[in-house]
A and B are shown apart, each in its own frame.
Chain A
Amino acid sequence: MLATYLTKDKIQKFNQSLTWEEAINRAATPLLENGSIKGSYVNQMIQNVHMMGPYIVIAPNIAFAHARPEDGVLQTDISLLVTESPVSFSAKPEHQCQLIFVFAAADSESHLQLLSALSVFLSDEEQVKRLLQASSVQEIATIIQS
């Protein structure tokens, strides 16, 4: 299920430091380019963090940027940015992330299976470690497909 959505063309690796706003913008690019989301969705994801704090940091090293279907989602989709230097979502060490997911849900129900699969995948710390150590986008895609 995860591998169906999170294909190689939606995975990026980046080796320079980024602010969290830049990281969300960059992570969202594949979904803007393939028409899954509109620019308004990206702005809203960033706005939400400004308004409600770094709640998108869902686990150590993992940010899960998202907004609501009506903020500009055209189809359910997901993308991933893996950064070599951690992105700070606040001044606190627990808000540093190297895996930045952008998640877009076209409605509030259909993506349940995708989230369930992602949750199982990311709760395996070994998998997360392998993602962080991967040296190329191809390698990341292979780990997700396995």
Chain B
Amino acid sequence: MKILAVCGNGLGSSMMLAINIKKVIGTLGITADVSNTDLASSKTETADYYIGSPEIMEQLSDGKRKTISIKNLLSLPEIEEALTKYINA
């Protein structure tokens, strides 16, 4: 499974989010390849799930991509809840 953390620049906030996703999937027992990128590149990169702030996910959502919005990129509980809801569903 591939999870792509996305922000406007592809580093900074998306990298912080990727670090936190890696922490969370370890405890959830999900095996996934987690990387981070910028909004423009993410539109041409294929992933099972795209994850980022609501503003960025809105711009990425096309009805086909599976997007997961996270309001607080630093909150491990919020990330864990979102991943559990979307990925295990």
Point out residues on A near B: beta carbons under 8 Å. Answer: 48, 51-60, 62, 64, 66-69, 94, 103, 105, 108, 111-112, 115-116, 118-119, 122-123
Contacts and interface: CB of A to CB of B under 8 A. Distances in A.
A58 B8 CA distance: 12
- Dominant secondary structure at the A interface: mixed
Contacts of B67: none
Given A64-B12, A66-B12, A58 B73 contact: yes
Contacts of A116: 16, 19
Contacts of A111: 11, 15
25 contacts: A51-B8, A52-B39, A52-B55, A53-B56, A55-B52, A55-B53, A55-B55, A59-B72, A59-B75, A66-B9, A66-B11, A66-B13, A68-B11, A69-B11, A105-B11, A108-B11, A111-B11, A111-B15, A112-B15, A112-B19, A116-B16, A119-B20, A119-B74, A123-B75, A123-B76
Given A115-B16, A115-B19, A118-B16, A48 B9 contact: yes
B88 interface: no
A44 to B, nearest CB: 9
